[in-house]
């Protein structure tokens, strides 16, 4: 009877499982894969912000073009994009400004910075975002120029 108990005890102590080395190896692989996924995800997120800024610039362009059709001129640099929300006080004929040209307040760009508007000539304007670095007149700026 003693012999049978020892055999059972030995069978119980030999359990299938993972060694510490195998567990550490799997954890290392998971950490490496996680780092790769996060790197790719941040690149996708950055590209999404650029696309969102471009879409917002296009929406501003459409509103500015409608403003120009109603008023007869583009907003001045001083009036800026705010002229699309509130009638400028210095309009020659205030009755032409009939409605807000944007339904909502002017949002910041996807990086939290303001959009910039500049009337370059009576027939051309520029709208821009400073882009990811937040500094104007740098390579990562997102710019739309009319005409």
Q: Which residue ranges form the domains of the chain, and what is each CATH number?
A: 22-145 (3.30.700.10)
**Higher pLDDT, residue 8 or 30:** 30
SS3 60: helix
Sign of the dihedral through C-alpha 93, 98, 101, 107: positive
pLDDT single digits (tens) 25-72? 888 888 888 777 776 666 666 678 999 999 999 999 999 999 999 999
- Winning range, highest mean pLDDT, from 22-26, 29-33, 71-75, 93-97: 71-75
Strand-pair category, 124-129 with 142-145: antiparallel
Question: What is the average per-residue pLDDT within 84-109?
Answer: 91
- pLDDT above 70: residue 130: yes
> Would you say 100 and 91 are in contact if contact means Cβ atoms under 8 Å apart?
no
- pLDDT above 90: residue 18: no
* pLDDT score at 73: 94
- pLDDT above 90: residue 9: no
CA distance 67 to 21: 69
Identify the burial level of 4 via C-beta atoms within 10 angstroms of its C-beta, where 0-12 means exposed, 13-18 middle and 19 or more buried.
Answer: exposed
CA distance 131 to 112: 10
* pLDDT score at 31: 82
User: How many C-beta neighbours within 10 Å does residue 67 have?
Assistant: 20
CA distance 68 to 24: 66
- pLDDT above 90: residue 98: no
SS3 36: helix
């Amino acid at each position: 009877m003693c012999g049978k108990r020892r055999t059972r005890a030995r069978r119980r102590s030999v359990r299938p499982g993972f060694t510490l080395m195998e567990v550490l190896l799997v954890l290392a692989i998971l950490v490496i894969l996680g780092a790769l996924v996060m790197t790719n995800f941040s690149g996708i997120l950055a590209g999404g912000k650029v696309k969102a800024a471009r879409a917002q610039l296009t929406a501003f362009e459409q509103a500015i073009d409608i403003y120009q059709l109603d008023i007869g001129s583009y907003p001045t640099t001083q009036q800026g994009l705010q002229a699309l929300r509130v009638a400028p006080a210095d309009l020659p004929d205030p009755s032409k400004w009939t409605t807000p040209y944007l339904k909502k307040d002017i949002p910041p760009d996807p990086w939290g910075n303001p959009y910039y508007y500049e009337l370059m000539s009576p027939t051309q304007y520029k709208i821009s975002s400073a882009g990811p670095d937040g500094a104007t007149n740098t390579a990562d700026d997102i710019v739309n120029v009319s005409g």
